[in-house]
Structure 1
Amino acid sequence: MIKMIKVRHNNVVPMMALGVQQLKKSLGRKIDYQDLDEIHQFLDRFYMSRIGIRMLIGQHVALHDPNPPPDCVGYIHTKMSPVQVAQTASEDARAICLREYGSAPDVNIYGDPKFTFPYVPTHLHLMVFELVKNSLRAVQERFMDSDKAAPPIRIIVADGIEDVTIKVSDEGGGIPRSGLPKIFTYLYSTAKNPLDEQSDLGTTNIATMAGYGYGLPISRLYARYFGGDLQIISMEGYGTDAYLHLSRLGDSQEPLP
């Protein structure tokens, strides 16, 4: 029963995002991002609670698995290799980019593949996937009509005493400084609104390349859930660096609302 509850709510995030997009569409031109602060805070609390509930349900179900994968305690992988997870997440993001644009920039990963630490691989996969997907789109759109080869996206995994930091660097042209405060709000996306293309919620493809505007804020919540954080540093005209900090001390409390 618990397992079914979790499955039943799998697509809550895209559904909520579509709802927010419809709201945005109905408000039309008269959106004032300051007024939407309340919606943003509500969604932050809502999604953070959801991450906590899903973590508990997932952990409970996984602990009752008769054949757990090696080195796993429920959802937590005690010897997770961030380099390997970044590899899989990048391949998934490149597959979507290939499907959307017909080509995808390379992704180069730097770091020790043998380095491991305890973490939840599904959470890390989701965060790296979102960051790489954003970078792929930026680079792809910047170099699409150019005769220059698209520069690769670089992922660097650093192993510190307190934090494991993953940096995703691209040369996709960056974000203007005026846009930086908006990138963590749920109503902002530089991509076109997916609702402009298809208004029928039933047929929307959940794993779209972009446009819902919730990739970054949700990824930051996942990072903060275990005491980490996500920061975006941009050089307009060049590219963007995303720093994903993952706490490795394992003593953080759930930051529940």
Structure 2
Amino acid sequence: MIIRNCESTVGDICEFRYGVRPTVTINGDADYIFAHIPMHLEYIITELLKNAFRATVERGMEREPIEITIAPLPEGATPRGSEHSISNVDQGAVDLASNSLPGYSGKSTLKDSMIRPLQESTPGVTIRIRDRGGGISPENYKHIWDYSFTTFNEDEANDSLSTATAGSDAFNAISGATGGSSIAGLGYGLPLGRAYAEYFGGGIDVQSLWGWGTDIYLSLRGVGNVEIKEPGNG
């Protein structure tokens, strides 16, 4: 299971840095299967678990398990947090140049500019990650979607950058610092994870109770339908 693989990776990083690793409990429909791109799903979940693990340990709550709930979306439901999903215009999938030509008689695509990138009929899922890490402070909460915003101090952030950039280009530096061997990095993990989720018709919502903990809701729309074959049917 992808979630367990991500848990193992983040747990190793957390134990290396802090000497301890929180446990993770999974409930809901733990065996649910839907079609998605493993690399993107692993990236998003890894980044969300990094935040949860770090907050839990730094608050001294490592004995409290991080709870992950898997809830398949009802048929026809809109994924939570997807109200602001990117449009075809944002993706560059609308032929604006042809529509601007004098006398162009082709069918205009502008009216379809708000069609979501995935069909509404594909199965989806919401994954909630709940931790007891004390929540997000009010002064930080308003910046959580800002690229390059991090609660690491300058030396820690520079260490993450120098580790990630060794022999890599700028793009790999960003993805390496957020998805590599550091428990936190340059502040790209959460906003970039949300961008991936929105591209696939979903989104990320954050609900924080300052002084207690944080709930993260990751909603995703599948990229197709999965056929479950019955035993004996090939």
Tell me, yes or no, whether TM beats 0.5. yes
Q: Per residue, is there more helix in 1 or in 2? A: 1
Of structures 1 and 2, the one with the larger relative CO (CA 8 A, separation 6+) is: 2
Give the match's secondary structure for 1:188.
Answer: coil
Question: Which among 101, 106, 115 is matched to residue 18 of structure 2?
Answer: 101
Whether contact under 8 Å (2:35, 2:223) holds in the other structure is: no
Instruction: Answer whether contact 1:87 1:109 (CA < 8 A) is retained.
Output: no
Q: Does 1:88 align with 2:5?
A: yes
Sort the Cα spacing of 1:219 and 1:196 in 2 relative to 1 into closer, same or farther, 3 A. closer
The correspondence for 2:145, drawn from 159, 184, 202, is 184
* TM superposition score normalised by structure 1: 0.58
Match of 1:46 in 2: none
Structure 1, unmatched stretches of 5+, are 1-83, 252-257
Q: Which residue of 2 aligns with 1:218?
A: 192
Question: CA 1:117/1:196 → structure 2, altered by over 3 Å: closer, same or farther?
Answer: closer
1:202 maps to 2:115: no
CA RMSD of aligned residues (A): 2.4
| Contact residue 158 and residue 164 of structure 1 kept, 8 A | yes
Q: Are 1:170 and 2:131 matched, yes or no? A: yes
Cα distance in 2 between the residues matched to 1:240 and 1:133:
13
Identity in percent: 36
Q: Which amino acid aligns with 1:172?
A: G
Provide the TM-score with structure 2 as the length reference.
Answer: 0.64
Q: Quick one: which amino acid aligns to residue 115 of structure 1? A: Y
1: CA distance, partners of 2:62 / 2:3: 23
1:170 deviates by 0.2
Which residue number corresponds to residue 156 of structure 1? 69
* Alpha-carbon offset, residue 187 of structure 1: 2.4
- Which residue does 2:202 correspond to in 1? 228
**SS of match in other structure, 1:118:** coil
SS at match of 2:68: strand
1:238 to 206, 212, 215: 212
The alpha carbon displacement at 1:111 in A equals: 2.9
**What are the ranges of 5 or more consecutive residues in structure 2 without an aligned counterpart?**
78-123, 168-172, 226-234
